[in-house]
Chain A
Amino acid sequence: DTGVSQDPRHKITKRGQNVTFRCDPISEHNRLYWYRQTLGQGPEFLTYFQNEAQLEKSRLLSDRFSAERPKGSFSTLEIQRTEQGDSAMYLCASSPPVYEQYFGPGTRLTVT
């Protein structure tokens, strides 16, 4: 059994470009979460899915951010028109209901 995987691990992009990240959860985990972590801070919740339904989005998730989880399997997080303030580590986690979340290695985004 593999853990949560994320791709890419690192992304450097220029301001104004669009980026997309992918997360593959642990198989059979029906819940999938996205968090963002900036340097020296704890992760902050962005959004979560139960199966393919996106059930909650944080106010941190501006209109430039969109997430999908087609067919309740992998998930993508897209950021349009990136800004320097988007530079952070983007973490994905998965869990069955009412259990602990298991995190992936994260995607580190640098916007230049």
Chain B
Amino acid sequence: AQKVTQAQTEISVVEKEDVTLDCVYETRDTTYYLFWYKQPPSGELVFLIRRNSFDEQNEISGRYSWNFQKSTSSFNFTITASQVVDSAVYFCALSDPGAQKLVFGQGTRLTINP
């Protein structure tokens, strides 16, 4: 069975600090996809990134970066120079190559204080 663990329930930092959100996954599939979604207070899940299991290159998008390490089954997310608008619940998710239904972690609530 697939499983995603986000061990950090809540993180609180001061604006402009860097913050890393951890994600560890379990799957028996050799092909799979990993995702990060953001859920702001408004409630709507916002897609951030999708990676497939064959692409271990790290990715950077502005202040966001992702580190995918197959050896440790981790897909961590770093926000550099955090801003108040980054405050949200962040979910890591895993999907199979077929139905591609998402298995979500429990989420990390990130609070950026001014």
Given contacts A101-B47, A104-B44, A105-B44, could you give 16 more A-B pairs where the C-beta distance is less than 8 Å? A40-B106, A41-B107, A42-B4, A42-B91, A45-B101, A45-B102, A48-B99, A55-B99, A89-B43, A99-B50, A100-B47, A102-B47, A103-B46, A105-B43, A106-B43, A106-B44
CB 8 Å contact bits of B1-39 with A (1 = contact, 0 = none): 000100000000000000000000000000000010100
Residues on B with C-beta less than 8 A from A100 are: 35, 47, 50
- State whether the Cβ of B77 lies closer than 8 Å to any Cβ in chain A: no
Report A99 CB to chain B, min CB distance, Å: 8
Within 8 A of A (CB), among B89-114: 91, 93, 99-107
Q: List 8 A-B contacts (CB under 8 A).
A: A43-B45, A43-B91, A43-B102, A93-B102, A101-B47, A103-B47, A105-B42, A105-B44
Tell whether A95 is near chain B: CB-to-CB under 8 Å.
yes
- Residues of B38-77 at the interface with A, using a CB-CB cut-off of 8 Å, are 42-47, 50
Determine the chain A residues whose CB is within 8 A of the CB of B45 once the complex forms.
43, 91, 93, 103
Interface residues on chain B, number (Cβ under 8 Å): 21
Which residue of A is nearest B91, CB measured?
A: A42
Decide if B99 touches A56 in the complex (CB within 8 Å): yes
In chain B, what residue has the closest Cβ to A101?
B102
A47-68 to B contact mask, C-beta < 8 Å, 1/0: 0100000011000000000000
Q: Mark contacts of A67-110 with chain B using CB atoms, 8 A cut-off: 1 yes-contact digit, 0 otherwise.
A: 00000000000000000000001010101011111111110000
Question: A22 interface residue, CB < 8 Å from B?
Answer: no
